[in-house]
Amino acid sequence: MGMRNVIFDTILIFIDQNVIFLIQRINGIQPSCKMIIERSSPDKRIAVCTRKTKETDITLSVNLDGQGKNKIDTGIAFFDHMLDGFARHGLFDLEVKVDGDLEVDSHHTIEDVGIVLGTAIKKALGDKAGIKRYGYFILPMDEVLALCAADLSGRPYFKFDAGFTTDKLGTMDTEMVKEFFYAVSYSAQMNLHLKILDGGNNHHMAEALFKAFGKALDMAVSPEPRMTEIWSTKGAL
């Protein structure tokens, strides 16, 4: 880029293996992002994550062994409804509080919640020993049929096939459904496939995808009683 060299440094500081501070410096201007992640204890699959940038301020907690209880306030009512469906049907206890730049649009808020949720899921899972690892679900919602398949492989990959026909659902841009799941899959380091098998009402399509993801993830994180080790020929996930 000639004289316009871009300096990008990422500093990871690990404290007691439970707290991560992520500071990114771009062209000497900082801070762009600060993230703190904590796991409650080795025997509980609960993680709390806070992330603050110039665009969003997010606090999120997830309990993978919950009852579907949730308290969600992102400032985007339809997105709150989708996260409620994910948590309720996945039986995850989820709390999310966001202060985002919604005066711009919904993009930063939704994408950043995906980043934080994926990070928290990864942290809550620990070394992934003794879990099923794979999860899948085909979920009907009236005329709509949605498929989700997930592999907690430690190798992020994302495939999405859903043809929305409207630009917005409430104040949420429909294109952000894809961006949210992309952010979750890469920050959680999971292989995630989502597909609408039979389309219809756009609200039903989005809701079916979120609920199918909750059901598939619930299966993937569930304990496998016949397996106490990490379920991989590599010995790590």
Claim: this prediction has a pTM higher than 0.85: no
Q: Which residues of the chain have pLDDT under 70?
A: 1-35, 39-42, 231, 233, 235-236
Q: How many helices (H) and strands (E) does the chain have?
A: 4, 13
Residue-range domains of the chain with CATH: 8-221 (3.30.230.40)
What is the pLDDT at residue 229? 82
Encode 38-53: b = buried (16+ Cβ within 10 Å), e = exposed: bbeeeeebbbbbbbbb
What is the pLDDT at residue 1? 44
What is the pLDDT at residue 32? 46
What is the pLDDT at residue 40? 60
What is the pLDDT at residue 114? 98
Query: What DSSP letter does each residue of 95-144 carry, written as one string?
Result: EEEEEE-TTT-SHHHHHHHHHHHHHHHHHHHTT-TTB--EEEEEEEETTE
Strands 168-169 and 172-173: antiparallel
Q: What does pLDDT average to over the chain?
A: 86
